[in-house]
Amino acid sequence: MLGIGSDRYLPTVLLIDDDLISREVIATLLTLSGYTLHTANDGAASLGILDSGECAPQVILVDVQMQGLSGLELVKALRVRSPAHIYAISGSLPSDEMKAATDGFLQKPFGPEMLQQILNEHALKAVHGISDSAEPVVNAETLAQFRQLMPEASVRQVYATVAADLRIRSVALETAIAKGDAAEVRRIGHAIKGGCGMAGVERAARLGALLERESDQLNNSAEVPGDLLDTAEKLERMLDVEFRT
C-alpha cells in the first residue's frame, strides 16, 4: 500500500488490481502526479482497507477480472463501504450490468491521458487557483452592493471583522487538525464557507468548502490554516487601500 503525495486538491485514490505490473505502472503515474494513493492486490484486501478506516477515497479504480472476490460482487461490496466514484478496469468490454454498477470504465491497455481524463473530473475544481495573486480578495460586485446599503465605516467594519475572524479560526483549525478532530474541522469549514461567502471573500469561502468536504482527510487540510492567514492579511491590506482614513 502507498500513502504518498499529495496535492490536497486532488482526489484520494484506491487502486485494486491483482496484476503487479499494472498496479505498479498506475501507482507510479498517480503518485508522480501528486495523488494520495492506496493500493490493494485483491478484492478482500481492498475491503479490509476500507473497513479499517485507513483510507477514505474519492475515487476507486478496480480491476473487475481478478481471482477471488471480483466483478459485480466486489463492486457492490465497495458501494456499501464507500461513497467514492468507482471505475472498472478490465481487458474486456464491460457487461451492461457492470456499466450500470460503476461510474465509468477503462479498458486495458490505456494510456496516462485516459487515466488523467477520468481523475480530472474529481479534482477539487472549486479551490483551484486559491493562491492566485491576481484574484481580488473580495468580490467587487459584493463590495459595491455593501457600499450601496451601508456607510463606508460600516463596510470597513464588516471586512475588518472577517479578517479578525479568519485569524482566530486559523488557530482553532490548526488545533483541530493536530488533534485529528474531523468534526471540528468540518464545523469550522462550514462557518467559514457561509460567512465569507456572504461577505464575498471568495478565496476563504472556497477554503471553507474544502474543509467541510474533506474533513475526513485531514492530511488534505494541513496547509489551509496558513492559507486562511494569508487571506486575512490580504484582506487587511485591501482595507488600507479601499478605506483610507
Three-state SS at 55? coil
204-233 pLDDT tens trace: 888 888 888 766 665 556 678 888 998 899
Given the DSSP bridges, would you call strands 104-107 and 37-40 parallel, antiparallel or unpaired? unpaired
pLDDT at residue 202 tops 80: yes
pLDDT at residue 139 tops 50: yes
In a domain? residue 172: yes
CATH of the domain at 155: 1.20.120
pTM for the structure as a whole: 0.51
In a domain? residue 4: no
> 30 and 93 in one domain?
yes
> 145 and 109 in one domain?
no
Predicted local confidence at residue 1, as pLDDT: 37
> 110 and 28 in one domain?
yes
Share of the chain above pLDDT 90, in %: 22
Higher pLDDT, 218 or 51: 51
Q: What is the C-alpha to C-alpha distance for residues 106 and 121, in angstroms, rounded to an integer?
A: 14
Question: 77, 98, 123 — which closes off a domain?
Answer: 123
> 118 and 17 in one domain?
yes
Structural domain of 188: 140-242
Q: What is the C-alpha to C-alpha distance for residues 12 and 151, in angstroms, rounded to an integer?
A: 46
Higher pLDDT, 130 or 71: 71
> 162 and 83 in one domain?
no
> What would the DSSP string read from start to end of 114-133?
HHHHHHHTTS-GGGTTTT-T
**Which of 75, 86, 13 is CA-nearest to residue 47?**
75
Cell of 152: 463606508
> 180 and 114 in one domain?
no
> 29 and 103 in one domain?
yes
The answer to whether 222 touches 17, Cβ cutoff 8 Å, is no
> 217 and 188 in one domain?
yes
pLDDT at residue 131 tops 70: no
